Amino acid sequence: MTAIDYSQKIPNNVNLSSDKRLQRALENWQPDYIDWWQSAGPTDFSQNDIYLRTAVSVEKDGWAHFDYVKMPDYRWGIFLEPGTSERKIGFGDHAEEQAWQEVPGEYRNWLRRLIVTQADTEPASVEQQRLLGHSAPSLYDLRNLFQVNVEEGRHLWAMVYLLHSYFGRDGREEAAELLERRSGNADHPRILGTFNEPCGDWLSFFCFTMFTDRDGKFQLLALAESGFDPLARTCRFMLTEEAHHLFVGQTGIGRVIKRTSEVMVENPGKDVREYGAIPLDLIQRYINFWASSSTDLYGAEISSNAANFFRSGLKGRAYETRYEDHQALEVPYAVDRFIDGKLDRQEVPMRNAMNEVLRDEYIKDNLKGINYWNRIPEKEGVEFEFHLPHRRFNRTIGDYAAGRFDLEGQLIDEATWNSKVDEWLPTPEDYEFVKSLMIPERERGKFASWIAAPPRGINSQNIDFEYAKL
Ligand SMILES: [Fe+2]
Ligand SMILES: [Fe+2]
């Protein structure tokens, strides 16, 4: 078991104490991080004991330790999956060469850009979620929110370690800027669109952790293949934490669907709103918004940057080992271009379509979640089917941003879009209604009117366990 050294100011398994220069850089950054957490992280609750898990070892079975922690005292640190010096680069022009333990000079700028882009999403999501603690539907959910928040904070640490350790002065400057940008700030926003969207209610939070954190999963899977070994090992460990975030989103929406289905069965013909539940079609509109916005995060269909990242061995494909051709030169990729108002299927070199290749995996994974949700009304005896919007729906990046497409991906005109948009995307009234339900429930074992209890608690605790001491 590779234990984490907690005797140090910055817990780590990277032998920080033997690198005084790095240690100083990180210790300089730490007070600014705490300031950021206090000013842009969860509002209040900093004096409350929260039942959180902390990484104590980086081995698969021993990394999660549960105990009461006050969030500002959380042991954020630097944990890399243990590596072997034998690792080879798995794809691109450098396939089969020894993985890099230092930054490859010719790719330095691309690599820094990849790390900064990933890093920027971590504090952004904490900022987006900062007010949600006040309206948590239960102590169980409150605890899950804070678990996600502290782990996104740790993901920032993980990326800042790479910047400080491997990029010198410009790395330190980038690390400082990561604490200066703010989600949704007009002058100094976060880098990627979805991470500037407001996430003001819990239905949004669950959609975010389902769809936006899932983008994180696939970006991390692609970076976990990187020929730059410290990045690959960092991302592998982050993926273990990411799984919980996705669980929170998928089961969270599932519990909202369950509650609504129960109300529908108990009160046939009635509007579920009267019983403080959320209509299923409203949930679908939230899904349409967050799924389409998060689909944008993969970038344009055809991208020379994506080709360069792959060619250079910096960013691979998710599950790269499942492919036979690690050069991605043999088989072309068929993509529906949208040019001059027309859809046109074209075969392009796969390297240029790497964004689309990753997006394919993302969509497959999303569909599994939709299937999971569809079993819930079915089991309750309610007829309703959830759908994932087509990848062309409501896009603001790439070819499809230039046109209007319906939920099935059919090209439509502006007038049709305008007449349908209120059925497809959340309306001001939807947001208003959801907001009206955001009344905190703080009694142990109790849940707000709009969400069912989970089948089991966290870490084998009961559902009425005191997950947060308020
Ligand atoms: Fe993260
Ligand atoms: Fe996450």
Residue range 214-219: mean pLDDT, rounded? 98
Domain membership of residue 8 (yes or no) is no
Average pLDDT over residues 118-137: 98
| Domain that includes residue 29, residue range | 16-469
Which CATH number goes with the domain that contains 225?
1.10.620.20
Residue 197 lies in a domain: yes
Burial classification of residue 295, based on how many CB atoms lie within 10 Å of its CB (0-12 exposed, 13-18 middle, 19 or more buried) = buried
pLDDT in tens, 79-105: 888 887 789 999 999 999 999 999 999
Structural domain includes residue 142: yes
Residue 1 pLDDT: 59
- What is the arithmetic mean of pLDDT over 338-348? 97
Residue 9 inside a domain? The answer is no
Q: For residue 231, tell me if it sits in a domain.
A: yes
At residue 5, the pLDDT reads 85
Classified as helix, coil or strand, 125 is: helix
- Read off the pLDDT of each residue in 394-413 and give the average, rounded to a whole number: 98
For residue 293, being part of any structural domain is answered with yes
Which chain residues have CB less than 5 Å from ligand 2, an ion?
Answer: 213, 216, 242, 245
Residue 325 has pLDDT above 90, yes or no: yes
Judged against a pLDDT cut of 90, whether residue 308 lies above it is answered with yes
Question: In total, how many domains does the chain have?
Answer: 1
Instruction: Summarize the confidence of residues 361-390 as an average pLDDT.
Output: 98
Q: What is the distance in A from the centroid of ligand 2 to the CA of 153?
A: 10
Residue 414 lies in a domain: yes
Average pLDDT on 458-468 reads 97
- Residues making up the chain, counted from first to last: 470
User: pLDDT tens across 404-428, in order?
Assistant: 999 999 999 999 999 999 999 999 9
SS3 344: strand
Q: Is residue 10 part of a domain?
A: no
Q: What percent of the chain has pLDDT over 90?
A: 92
Cα separations in angstroms, 344 against 222, 337, 338, 397:
28, 5, 6, 18
Residue 303 banded pLDDT, cuts 50, 70, 90: very high
Instruction: Give the distance (Å) from ligand 1 centre to CA of residue 465.
Output: 27
Residue 4 — very low, low, confident or very high, per pLDDT cuts 50/70/90? confident
**DSSP 8-state code for residue 208:** I
Mean pLDDT of 437-444: 98
Instruction: Find the 208 Cα to ligand 2 centroid distance in Å.
Output: 9
